[in-house]
Amino acid sequence: MKVQEKAYDFALSDASGKIVRLNDFLGKKVVLYFYPKDNTPGCTKQACAFKASYDYFLQHDIALIGISKDSARSHVNFAQKYELPFILLSDPDNKIAEAYGVVKEKKLYGKSFMGVVRSTFIIDENGYIEKVMEKVKPDTNPSDVIAYLEGKDAS
């Protein structure tokens, strides 16, 4: 997905099993972030950093949604353990991650494999991609998003 493209709509289950659609959020900005796996060091750091910034998103009526291939049960445990106040959606076959172009070749210990590259999309009130942030850093992703939203983005 690229800037100015219509964001790919989806229907995924949240931690409680409720179906959430991107189109449910038309009329408000959406920060949609893709991450590899619940309860891993980087993903935990990123989720907790978003939690620490969550009041900003609430005050500005911005929906915050995290997506990984983890199960709803895993999301429940992850959200409860870290008291995450935002939506986590389950994309078990990475179909939505692939539609957004965030499943790419990764290397670990000299081996190549396909996996989710940590990426964030800012979607405008009309459902179009406003900003794409690729290969984001877990601890600074939320502050980078807020800097962009406040017009202080350096990139």
Residue 56 lies in a domain: yes
Residue 3 lies in a domain: no
What does the buried/exposed string (b/e) look like for 100-126 if buried means 16 or more CB atoms within 10 Å of the residue's CB?
Answer: bbbbeeeeeeeeeeebbbbbbbbbeee
Domain membership of residue 96 as a residue range: 11-149
Q: Please identify which of the residues 43, 84, 122, 145 carries the catalytic annotation.
A: 43
Name the nearest CA neighbour of 19 among 89, 105, 93: 89
Residue 34 lies in a domain: yes
Amino acid 91: pLDDT: 97
What is the count of structural domains for the chain?
Answer: 1
- Residue whose entry in the numeric block shows the structure tokens 């409680």: 16
Mean pLDDT over the full length of the chain? 94
Amino acid 153: pLDDT: 64
State pTM to two decimals. 0.93
Q: Which residue has the higher pLDDT, 140 or 154?
A: 140
* Percent of the chain whose pLDDT exceeds 90: 85
CB-based contact 21:95 (threshold 8 Å): no
CATH of the domain at 125: 3.40.30.10
Name the nearest CA neighbour of 50 among 118, 127, 132: 118
CB-based contact 51:138 (threshold 8 Å): no
Residue 154 lies in a domain: no
Residue 145 lies in a domain: yes
Greatest CA separation for the chain? 45
Decide if 48 is catalytic. no
